[in-house]
Structure 1
Amino acid sequence: MNGSPPQAFANRYVAAKVFVATPRENLDRFFNSVANFVGAEVLGRLVSGYEAVRFDAVNEAISEAHRAAAMELGKRGLFRMREAMLSYKTCYIDDCLNYLVDGRQPAEERLSFLEYLLMLCSRRLQHVWQVVEERIDRFLKASSLRIAYRELTFRPVDAALIENEVHKPFWELIEDRPWVNVRADMEQALALRDSGGPDPAFYAARALESAIKVISNLNSWSTGHEKGAASYIDNLVSQKNGRFVEVWEADALKHFFGKVRNPTAHGAGDAEQPRLGKHQATWAIEFCMIWIKSLVGRM
């Protein structure tokens, strides 16, 4: 796996406690199904016809996924990979599948390992990967797990809906040149949120403000005398300019900038520096994404 591995599933959704109310039999059904499928249709396709290197690709994928998952989960190891008497006969498939179906192991950790494993295997199986994702997603639904598998990532259904309905259309709308600053600031907001960096909401709000300014400029509504986001919002809500946004929408936008962006954008003096919590920052980013998507979509 080139560079640092992505954050493990178990670490991405710690607060959500994804499986806390999931019946054990549902989890067992999914992991049994996916282990059978991965063994036959994913790892099985990596087995070479040449005896001397028969299991090299399989063992490499399993070993690297194991190393990445263990490192991210803070464990020395997840399961033992047994060596055969003759090295070229060593195969880790059974060890890997036995771990996946072991109900004594935390489901979040098994899913973390599985995600890394699938990510590594996908590089060699790109021609069939859409079918692989569809089958795994089907196993999740059949087991009544509120998890979806899309683009090499397991995510709670609610997160998947946000991805499909907000994130993807958002990035598609701001591909063109006028939105370059919007894109750069939102990328920075997401990077800071994911790394635990300071003030991701500030960059999301800056992206929203840039989008509002671009819309005002492209429509020749800007006067050059604007002072801050509120003035540009006035351009959008102006009856003279065709009321691009309604009054209540303008009020909501101004409230966001006044209560969320401005307190973190200015020095706090000797007072405590305002700081949004992780969930508040995520809400602010998604708020800005939804508004940018809505405003740009009206152009």
Structure 2
Amino acid sequence: MSAGTPCFANRVRGHDPLSTVPRDSIERLLGSTAVFLKRDLFQPLMSGYDFMRFSAMNELVVEAHDATSIALGRQGLFRYTRHLIDDDDCYADDALAYLTNIKVPAVERLSFVELLLASARPRFGPRLAAIEDKVAGLLSANALPIIYRDGQFEPSDGPAVEQAVHDPFWDLVSHARWDNVRTDMRQALSLRDNGGPNPALYAARALESTLKIVSSGKGWLTGRERGAANVIDTLVSSKNGRFIEPWEAEMLKRFFADVRNPDAHGAGADPQPKLTPIQTSWAIEFCMISIKSLLRRG
């Protein structure tokens, strides 16, 4: 997680994706989450030795509790017993009670789940994947407008868009070669979800990085390119075998000229350009789809 967006509640600040979801659906999700976390996350950490029976479990709870408190700017989320001698203290009970406390905003409780799983990752290693799959499955089963991907809760654009656009995109850019693409696209989505400025600009940066990486990988960059349009020219060049067709090149150039550039340059005395929420989502999806198309060509 980046330092600027350390938990789910912060990433969706000002735009709660659960605000229109029936309360019983949210509580059903968190209740189910508490049950399986007790079984699959906490119980495997119990020791057979009485003197340290709950030690690993308590360490996990304290670590996640403190990380979430810091991220949310709270002095604490819930009270847990800190006895020096009593070996029967089990902080997991306090954590599970917090998850089912209807007085706490759902996004904050999900933030605790997110950071609890993050704290569990070094302890469980590859075994944590099955638990994370369960989290993702519960979200889908309860038809909530959020997903769990790469250790983070994110607002969802709906199952059709997730399956056709988002999931294939993230699969294609999973290699370290595409680190900048992933970083900028995550920033675009984060800004879109919390009402931040210029989400489309970051999506366009991800697309421009992809164009450069693809062209460079083919040995087509000359070093004299001054912007995205020049890089696109290397891809559409007949000398290079027309990696993309002229109509595709024109569409990409129009996107950079009409969507990216107005946001990328100072407006002077004119009003600042601003896309509507629908236009912003379209711009992000356009970049994702374009990146997918480029990478699938090899």
TM-score range, shorter chain: 0.7 to 0.9
Q: TM-score, normalised by structure 2?
A: 0.75
Aligned to 2:142: 143
Please give the secondary structure, in 1, of the residue aligned with 2:120. helix
Q: List alignment gaps of at least 5 residues for structure 1.
A: 176-182
Aligned to 1:77: 76
Matches of 2:268 and 2:4, distance apart in 1: 40
Tell me what 1:38 maps to.
37
* Partner residue in 2 for 1:189: 184
Q: Which residue of 2 is the match for residue 253 of structure 1?
A: 252
Moved more, 201-210 or 66-75: 201-210
Deviates more, 1:288-297 or 1:222-231: 222-231
Within 2, Cα distance between the matches of 1:184 and 1:152? 16
Structure 2 unaligned segments of length 5 or more: list them: none
- Shift in Å, 1:240: 7.4
Alignment length (residue pairs):
286
Q: Which residue of 1 aligns with 2:167?
A: 164
> What is the RMSD computed on CA atoms of the aligned residues?
3.9
Q: CA deviation at 1:144?
A: 2.9
35-44 vs 275-284, greater mean Cα deviation: 275-284
1:174-233 CA distance string (max 9 Å, x none): 84xxxxxxx465366358656989964574354144146437745xxx899877543553
Distance 1:270 1:190 in 2: 27
Which residue in the other structure is 1:153 paired with? 152
User: What CA deviation, in whole Å up to 9, does each residue of 1:128-160 have, x standing for no partner?
Assistant: 323222333333333332333344322333389
Change (3 A) 1:246 1:101: same
> What is the aligned partner in structure 2 of residue 179 from structure 1?
none
* Range moving further from structure 2, 4-13 or 239-248: 239-248
Structure 1 residues 99-108 or 144-153, which shifts more? 144-153
Cross-structure match for 1:14: 13
Map 1:103-122 to 2 at 5 A: 103-122=102-121
Contact 2:184 2:206 in 1 (8 A): yes
Amino acid in the other structure paired with 1:70: S
Counterparts of 1:192-203 in structure 2 under 5 Å?
A: 200=202, 203=205
Note closer, same or farther for the CA distance 1:32–1:251 as it changes in structure 2 (3 Å cut): same
Q: Distance in 1 between the 2:2 and 2:209 partners?
A: 29
Q: Kindly provide the amino acid, as one letter, of the partner of residue 169 in structure 1.
A: L
CA distance in 1, matches of 2:172, 2:85: 53
Bigger shift: residues 81-90 or 272-281: 272-281
1:214 aligns with 2:216: yes
Query: Following the alignment from structure 1 to structure 2, what is the Cα–Cα distance between the partners of residues 6 and 105?
Result: 20
Query: In the superposition, relative to structure 1, how do residues 35 and 205 fare at CA in structure 2: closer, same or farther (>3 Å)?
Result: closer
Judge conservation of contact 1:66–1:113 (CA < 8 Å) in 2.
yes
How far residue 57 of structure 1 moved from its aligned partner, in angstroms, is 1.2
State the AA in 1 paired with 2:181.
M
For the Cα contact (< 8 Å) 1:215–1:296, is it kept in 2? no
Q: Where does residue 97 of structure 2 map in the other structure?
A: 98
Identity %: 37
AA in 2 matched with 1:186: V
| TM-score, normalised with respect to structure 1 | 0.75
- CA apart distance, 1:46: 0.9
Change (3 A) 1:148 1:91: same
The amino acid that maps onto 1:165 is P
Deviation, structure 1 residue 100? 0.7
* CA drift at 1:16: 3.9
Are the counterparts in 1 of residues 7 and 68 from structure 2 also a CA contact under 8 Å? Answer: yes
Distance 2:73 2:153 in 1: 20
Partner amino acid, structure 2, of 1:146? P
Output the amino acid matched with 1:87.
D
- Where in structure 1 do 4 or more consecutive aligned residues deviate above 6 Å? 194-199, 222-227, 272-283
2:17 aligned counterpart, secondary structure = coil
1:91-127 C-alpha deviation (Å, 9 max, x unpaired) = 2111111111111211111111111112212322235
2:8 & 2:151 partners in 1: Cα distance?
Answer: 11
Q: What letter is aligned with 1:123?
A: P
Instruction: For 1:12 and 1:77, locate their aligned partners in 2 and report how far apart those are by CA, in whole Å.
Output: 20
The answer (yes or no) to whether the contact 2:136–2:147 under 8 Å persists in 1 is yes
* Pair 112,273 (structure 1): closer, same or farther in 2 beyond 3 Å: same
What is the match of residue 180 of structure 1?
A: none
